[in-house]
Structure 1
Amino acid sequence: MTVATVVLAVVVAALSLALVASVILARRRAAIDRAALARLTAENHALRERCDAAHATAELRARMVAHVSHELRTPMQAIMSLLALLDEHGLPLEQRRQHLSTLRGSTEDLLLLIDGLLDTAQIEGKRPSLRADDFSPRATLEQLVDLLGPSAHKRGLELRAALAPDLPPRLRGDRLRLRQIVINLIGNSIKFTRQGHVELRVAARVEDEVAHLQVEVSDTGVGMSPEALGRLFREFARVGDPSVEGTGLGLSISKQLVEALGGRLEVDSDPGVGTTFRFEVRMPLLAALPAEQAAAADNRPRVLVADDDSAGRELLATALRRSGYAVDGVADGAAAVASALARPYVAVILDVQLPELDGPDAARQIRDVRGDVALIALTGHTEIDVLGRCKGAGIDAILIKPVKLETLRATIVRVAAQRTQPVDLAVIRGYVTAEDPAFVPGLIDVYLREAERDLEAMEEAAAGQEIARVAQLAHRLKGSSAGFGARLLAERCQSLYAAARAEQPVSHELAALAREFGRVKSALSAERTRLISSSS
């Protein structure tokens, strides 16, 4: 091997080693670069996650602030409304006390919200914590109507309330959340209603000691399209007039609260017609408190005022309360009938032109069941046909508007006294003589025996379609009843006689006559016992 060959081999070997070293170095550098890239990627990912978390936290805080702000505004609105009412000059002391009591309750609600701020918001889980309060649903809802009424009136709207007369006296549940939901719904309706009314309707169905509270809020506002309804309950969504102030949270919060209470918030709406929100929640029944039991046993006579004019209705109610009456108010004829048949009113005051059922039709349904309640009509009409309809419906007195309050009070006293007593005992006592103390008790025996026989004969004749016989017997019983001071029973006999003569169905008239005779029999039997005792 020559020297040249050896040198060439050495050079080739050196070049090979250099190439291998270069490859190894390149690989090491690539590995280092990959590791650096991996670290950089991981760091970027971590930074991105922290950035996203920061954005989520900021968004959560913004939503929480908006949510809490909305919740705090609910009792604050109540407080501001009450302060405005208290600032009115000439407000009666009784109303001031009522407003102060409600104001105290609103401030307590505000404290509850503040004390449980983090717990009640719980936006992330969208499951607000609930309280278990013992409360009166009627008192709670009536306070809300009183609070929000001025806001509605300021916009030229009427805020109506139709609370079923058979609402349970006490429930156990989250009163604060129920208030929030109803205030949000009524407030929303007031915002988007330019004319007409907003109405709160509440009823209850009781099953196994649990009340299913059914709540509706309806309005005559702008309404919504189907597309708008699809976005209605989204947070921060604004549906409807963009000029109306709001955060877009009220309905979203209401939906969450209804669902937290175990219900579902539903809505029906027609553009240009109006919107109705409804939900149903379940709450256990509770026994009435002693104070409520005392109120239920209140000896004050109770009066029902039915008038669709809320201002006029409240004026009458306030005047009658000052006169010593307990007063309830309703806005339509159907509610008047339901309430009159559920509570022991001494008098029902009916405006002739009522929605649902007008005054005479409502009076007729009440009179079919109750003969002991005074029915008084208020009307601005003096037409003979209107007055005739009122008399034919069993209305005791018709007062032409405007009515002096003194006249109304005197009419209630007079008519209620006539209706409360099934028998004018002064009539029967006028027959009493010292010479024959057994004479009147004997008369009572004869009258009751013959009246019972006539009533049984009328029922048999009606069953056999002997209408002429029914009319004959009713006419006879009318005369004898009037002679014993049973004026209301005589009226029932006259109504039955008129129906039979006109060959109209007599079952309702006959049933009403039988009920009234039961009252007369009890009163005369008690008087007979008293007369016998006093003569012995």
Structure 2
Amino acid sequence: MSNRRRVATDRAELARLTEDNRALRERSEAAHATAELRARMVAHVSHELRTPMQAIMSLLALLDDHGLPTEQRRQHLSTLRGSSEDLLLLIDGLVDTAQIEGKRPSLRTDDFSPRATLEQLVDLLGPSAHKRGLELRSALAPDLPARLRGDRLRLRQIVINLIGNSIKFTRQGHVELRASARVEHDVARLQVEVSDTGVGIGPEAMSRLFRDFSRVGDLSVEGTGLGLSISKQLVDALGGRLDVDSDPGVGTTFRFEVTMPLLVAPAAEPTAEADTRPRVLVADDDGAGRELLVTALRRSGYAVDGVADGAAAVASALARPYVAVILDVQLPELDGPGAARQIRDVRGDVALIALTGHTEIDVLGRCKDAGIDAILIKPVKLETLRATIARVAAERMQPVELAVIRGYVTADDPAFVPGLIDVYLREAEGDLEALQEAAARREIARVAQLAHRLKGSSAGFGARLLAERCQSLYAAARAEQPASDELAAVAREFARVKAALSVERTRLISS
């Protein structure tokens, strides 16, 4: 080979090696940046896991003290259960993230109203937009299907991520949610768009928009950039496609379409799993008396189960989500107070009601010591029993479903939910004050309007009982009936919701 050809070959080889080294360096730098972000996330997750684990270990040590009073032991068990639930939620979240990264997100099937689902999200996220001086609009087609069958929670997660992203990168103007559907035979193609008047996305940023840990726009905005990536993978898992159009400085539109079965009519016989009625357990060894109570309560709108002894009552109460358990004091196998004690040690959220023919002080005292909420002396009128169930179940019901709130938490924006809580509480307190003023001035239409608005925002936070109280107030106002009792009930329940949300906000910030 001539020297000239050898030199040319060497130069080509040198150029190839130089290019390979450059590409290798770029991949190494990208891998290092991703690893650094993942390390920060792992450190955060480690802290999240250690916090409830530390609480569990400390509480177990305290419970080892056999001299603890019963009430204090019960409080520790309740706290221990809460910490265990926190830990389980974190583990579920980690599994979910791993499944999504492996492009295998878990899906569930629900029957749901697309309109109600999307309207609820507008009510939920509207205050967050208003806090930034933005308007959150919605334009839902009037012919949206009444019911669809699909993964409602994943749909919510996608839309929350898209709206949250638009709010984050929009300094002025508005964010708009639009939805329509094309019905074809027994399926509906649900089309959802989220548009904004934000900073927009340039061509270079567009090419890496849906990658993990990618961010665009103002780098001073906090977040790891997982929201859009997760949304895309969830849309893919639902069999759809997520697209984006954007003009830098003008705004961005995200759109996706998913196909879901059309639910034309409800099933003729609702299954136990689909039954949304409050569920009550009746434990009585008198077969005739038990069946009488079961039938009467079913006619009153409850889903009711019956058992004949205390051991069966404990097993059932720990296996199903009852709002109330009615226990005859003199049950075989395990008497009423004994069964109540075992149930209460595990479940602090269920109402326990004792039925007894005895009025002796020691019997009543045993019931109270076992954690029973109400004691009714036989014979009991059905109206009294219904009122007692409603009252005690409301007192025992958690003011806020924390799983709903924690479902909005993402690593992409850890400050989002605490800020959302602040905005909700401020707006709700304003609505409640305005409600009281409107009621004092007998402005019935204004009372109905405010009650309806507070109902929507509260339902979005998982405050089911507060939403129900607002609905009762709204119905009374629409019927032009006196509503002082309903308004007082709204105020009382809001106080409970505020306390629960304040605790959850502190937990989220400290973690």
Greater C-alpha Rg: 1
- TM-score range (shorter-chain normalised) is 0.3 to 0.5
Tell me which of the two structures has the higher relative contact order, counting C-alpha pairs closer than 8 angstroms and 6 or more residues apart: 2
TM-score, with length taken from structure 1: 0.36
TM-score, with length taken from structure 2: 0.37
